[in-house]
C-alpha cells in the first residue's frame, strides 16, 4: 500500500481542488437542507455541474459516459469534495451499486443506452432488495416473478426501505422465481421500470424529518426478459455483485465524525476553560484518533485492491462496523459536552453547522444500511477469523417448505 499520490494523481488532485474551490458550496456558509425534494434538486444541480466539468463517473469507461480514469481518481475526488457542502453521494445507489451490475450482466446496445443515461443523470436508479420479512436474511424474500408464455415476467409483492424510490426511473429488483428449490437457488434479478403501472411507491416519514425511504408495491408489474440480470435462478450471484459494490460505496461514504469532533474541541470551552484540556476529552481524542487512522488505512487497502483489479474484501465490513458506531458515540459524547446548547438544531447557530445534532438522528440508520452491525460481525468472524458458519436451519430445504408467517 502506498498512501502517496503519484505525480499524475497529485496533479489531478490540484486540478479538482481548484475546480471545487470555484464551484462547490463551502461547508460553513450553507444551511443544511433537510427537505427531501429540495435536497434532491440540489443533488441534481450539483451532479449536472460536475458532469459538465468531466468529474462524474470518474472510474467508468468513456463509452458508458464515464471519464475513463481509475478508482484511485474517484478516491481523490471523494477526499476533496468531502470538504464542501454538496450532496455528492446522492446517486450512489445507481452509480455505485446498479451500474456495475448492468455493466456485468446486460448486452449491447442496451448496456450502453442504460449506462449513458445513468451517467448523464437522465435516469435515477434504486435498489429493491429488502422486504418486511427479509432484510439481513435477504435471500428469504418473497416478491414473486413469474414468466408468461410470451416471455415477459410479472412481478408481485412488496419491498421496503428502498432509498430514493420516489424519485427513481429504474430499479434493480431481486425476486423469487422458483419456490421449489432452496432459498438461494430460486432467485432472479431484474431491471424494473419504476414509472410503469403496477408499481406503487409510498414514502416513509423519518424522525429526522426526511423521507428518504419508501415502501414499493408491485401489482402485476411487467418486465421484459431482456431486462433480466443474469440467469434465471442466478439472482443470488447477481445480488452479491451489487452488495459487494454497495459495501465499498458505503465504506467510502460512512463518516466517522472524528474531523468534526477535532474541530469542536479545538475551539469549545467548558466552565470557562478550553475543553481540549479536560482529561476525559483528551482520552476520547486519542482513542478516536487511533480508530480514525485504522478505518482510513483499511479503506485505502480496499481501494488499492480494487484499483489493482481485485474485489472489495472484508475490510469494508470492518470499516463500516467501526465508523458507524464511532460516529454515533462521538455525536452522543459531544452533545453531552455541549449541555443545553446541544438541543439547538439550527445549523446557522449550532456548533459545526449542527453536524452532531444531525448525526445523532442518522447514525442509527448507518448501523443498519448495507448490513447491520451483527451481520458485519458475522462476516468478519467467518471471512477474516475463519470461524465456523452460523447454523442454518433452512439449508437444503425447498423455499416453499420453510415454515414462515
Ligand atoms: C439508511 C438505509 C438505507 C437503506 N436502503 C435500502 C435500499 O435502498 N434498498 C434496500 O433493499 N434496502 C435498504 N435498506 C434496508 C437494509 O438493507 C436493512 O435495513 C438491513 O439489511 C437490515 O434488515 P432489517 O431492517 O429487516 O432488520 P432485520 O434483518 O430484521 O434485523 C433485526 C435485528 O436482528 C439482527 N439480526 C438479524 N439476523 C441476524 C443474524 N444472523 N445474526 C445476528 N443478528 C441478526 C440484526 O442485526 C438487527 O439488529 C436501507 C436501510 C437503511 C437504514
Domains and CATH numbers, the chain: 7-90 (no CATH), 125-234 (2.40.110.10), 254-384 (1.20.140.10)
Ligand 1 pocket by Cβ (under 6 Å): 93, 126-130, 135-136, 161-163, 365, 368-369, 371-372, 374-375, 378, 390
pTM for the full predicted model:
0.89
The atom number, within ligand 1, closest to the CA of 93 reads 8
Nearest CA to ligand 1 atom 25: 135
CA-closest residue to ligand 1 atom 23: 135
The reported pLDDT for the residue numbered 309 is 76
Expressed in angstroms and rounded, the spacing between residue 61 Cα and the centre of ligand 1 is 33
How many whole angstroms from 141 Cα to the centroid of ligand 1? Answer: 13
Q: How far is the CA of 405 from the centre of ligand 1 (A)?
A: 18
Q: What is the Å distance from ligand 1's center to 3 Cα?
A: 34
Identify which of 90, 95, 136 to mutate to test ligand 1's pocket (most ligand atoms within 8 A of the CB): 136
Residues 121, 95: Cα–Cα separation, whole Å: 9
Going by alpha carbons, the residue nearest to atom 15 of ligand 1 is 161
What pLDDT, on the 0 to 100 scale, is given for residue 135? 95
Among 76-90, 177-191, 216-230, the least confident range: 76-90
C-alpha cell read off for 177: 422465481
The better pLDDT of the pair 243, 193 is held by 193
Percentage of the chain modeled with pLDDT above 70: 95
Mean pLDDT of 57-63: 96
Ligand 1 pocket test, pick from 161, 213, 327 with the greatest ligand atom count within 8 Å of Cβ, gives: 161
pLDDT in tens, 247-274: 777 666 667 999 999 999 999 998 899 9
Question: Does position 41 have pLDDT exceeding 50, yes or no?
Answer: yes
Can you give the pLDDT at residue 32? 40
Rounded to an integer, what distance in angstroms lies between the CA atom of residue 31 and that of residue 356? Answer: 15
Computed over every residue of the chain, the mean pLDDT equals 90
What are the tens digits of pLDDT across the range 120-177?
999 999 999 999 999 999 999 999 999 999 999 999 999 999 999 999 999 999 999 9
pLDDT tens string 356-376: 999 999 899 889 988 899 999
> Is the per-residue pLDDT at 75 higher than 90?
no
Cα 290 to ligand 1 centre (Å): 28
Query: How far, in Å, CA of 56 to CA of 43, rounded?
Result: 13
Which residue has better confidence, 39 or 50? 50
Of 118, 315, 138, nearest in space to 242 by CA:
138
- Centre of ligand 1 from the C-alpha of residue 349, in Å: 35
Neighbouring residues of 47: CB distance < 8 A, sequence distance ≥ 6: 56, 90, 91, 121
pLDDT range class, residue 319, cuts 50, 70, 90: confident
Mean pLDDT confidence for 35-62: 90
**Ligand 1 geometric centre to CA of 369 (Å):** 6
CB distance 265 to 275 below 8 Å: yes
Top mean-pLDDT range of 204-213, 329-338, 387-396: 329-338
Kind of pairing, strands 228-229 and 187-193?
A: antiparallel
Q: What is the 3-state secondary structure (H, E, C) of the chain?
A: CCCCCCHHHHHHHHHHHHHHHHHCCEHHHCCCCCCHHHHHHHHHHHHHHHHHCCCCCCCCCHHHCCCCCCHHHHHHHHHHHCCECCCCCCCHHHHHHHHHHHHHHCCCCHHHHHHHHHHCCCCCEEEECCECCECCCHHHCCCEEEECCCCCEEEEEEECCCCCHHHCCEEEEEEECCCCCECCCCEEEEEEECCCCCEEEEECCCCCCCCCCEEEEEEEEEECHHHEECCCCCHHHHHHHHHHHHHHHHHHHCCCCHHHHHHHHHHCEECCEEHHHCHHHHHHHHHHHHHHHHHHHHHHHHHHHHHCCCCCCCHHHHHHHHHHHHHHHHHHHHHHHHHHHHHCCCCCCCHHHHHHHHHHHHHHHHCCCCCCHHHHHHHHHHHHCCCCCCCCCCCCCEHHHCCCC
Amino acid at each position: 500500500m502506498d498512501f502517496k499520490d503519484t505525480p499524475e494523481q497529485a496533479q489531478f488532485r490540484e486540478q479538482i481542488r481548484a475546480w471545487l474551490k470555484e464551484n462547490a458550496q463551502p461547508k460553513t456558509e450553507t444551511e443544511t437542507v433537510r427537505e427531501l425534494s429540495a435536497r434532491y434538486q440540489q443533488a441534481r444541480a450539483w451532479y449536472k455541474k460536475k458532469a459538465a466539468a468531466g468529474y462524474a463517473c470518474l472510474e467508468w469507461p468513456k463509452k458508458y459516459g464515464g471519464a475513463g480514469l481509475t478508482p484511485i481518481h474517484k478516491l481523490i475526488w471523494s477526499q476533496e469534495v468531502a470538504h464542501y457542502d454538496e450532496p455528492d453521494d446522492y446517486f450512489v445507489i445507481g452509480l455505485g451499486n446498479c451500474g456495475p451490475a448492468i455493466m456485468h450482466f446486460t448486452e449491447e446496445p442496451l448496456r450502453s443506452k442504460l449506462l449513458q443515461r445513468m451517467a448523464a443523470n437522465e435516469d435515477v436508479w434504486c435498489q429493491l432488495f429488502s422486504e418486511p420479512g427479509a432484510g439481513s436474511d435477504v435471500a428469504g424474500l418473497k416478491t414473486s416473478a413469474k414468466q408468461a408464455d410470451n416471455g415477459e415476467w410479472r412481478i408481485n409483492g412488496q419491498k421496503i426501505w428502498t432509498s430514493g424510490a420516489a424519485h427513481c426511473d429504474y430499479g434493480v429488483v431481486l425476486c423469487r422465481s422458483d419456490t421449489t428449490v432452496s432459498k438461494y437457488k430460486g432467485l432472479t434479478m431484474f431491471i424494473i421500470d419504476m414509472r410503469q403501472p403496477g408499481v406503487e411507491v409510498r414514502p416513509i416519514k423519518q424522525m429526522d424529518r426526511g423521507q428518504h425511504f419508501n415502501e414499493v408495491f408491485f401489482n402485476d408489474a411487467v418486465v421484459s426478459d431482456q431486462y433480466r440480470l443474469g440467469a434465471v435462478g442466478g439472482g443470488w450471484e447477481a445480488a452479491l455483485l451489487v452488495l459487494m459494490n454497495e459495501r465499498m460505496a458505503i465504506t467510502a461514504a460512512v463518516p466517522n465524525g472524528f474531523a468534526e469532533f477535532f474541530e469542536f474541541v479545538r475551539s469549545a470551552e467548558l466552565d470557562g476553560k478550553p475543553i481540549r484540556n479536560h482529561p476525559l476529552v483528551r482520552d476520547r481524542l486519542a482513542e478516536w484518533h487511533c480508530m480514525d487512522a485504522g478505518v482510513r488505512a483499511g479503506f485505502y487497502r480496499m481501494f488499492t485492491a480494487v484499483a489493482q483489479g481485485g474485489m472489495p474484501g472484508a475490510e469494508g465490513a470492518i470499516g463500516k462496523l467501526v465508523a458507524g458506531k464511532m460516529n454515533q458515540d462521538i455525536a452522543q459524547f459531544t452533545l453531552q459536552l455541549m449541555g443545553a446548547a446541544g438541543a439547538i438544531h439550527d445549523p446557522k447557530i449550532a456548533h459545526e453547522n449542527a453536524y452532531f445534532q444531525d448525526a445523532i438522528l442518522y447514525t442509527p440508520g448507518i448501523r443498519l444500511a448495507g448490513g447491520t452491525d451483527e451481520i458485519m460481525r458475522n462476516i468478519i468472524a467467518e471471512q477474516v477469523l475463519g470461524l465456523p458458519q452460523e447454523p442454518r436451519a433452512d439449508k437444503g430445504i425447498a423455499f416453499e417448505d420453510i415454515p414462515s408467517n
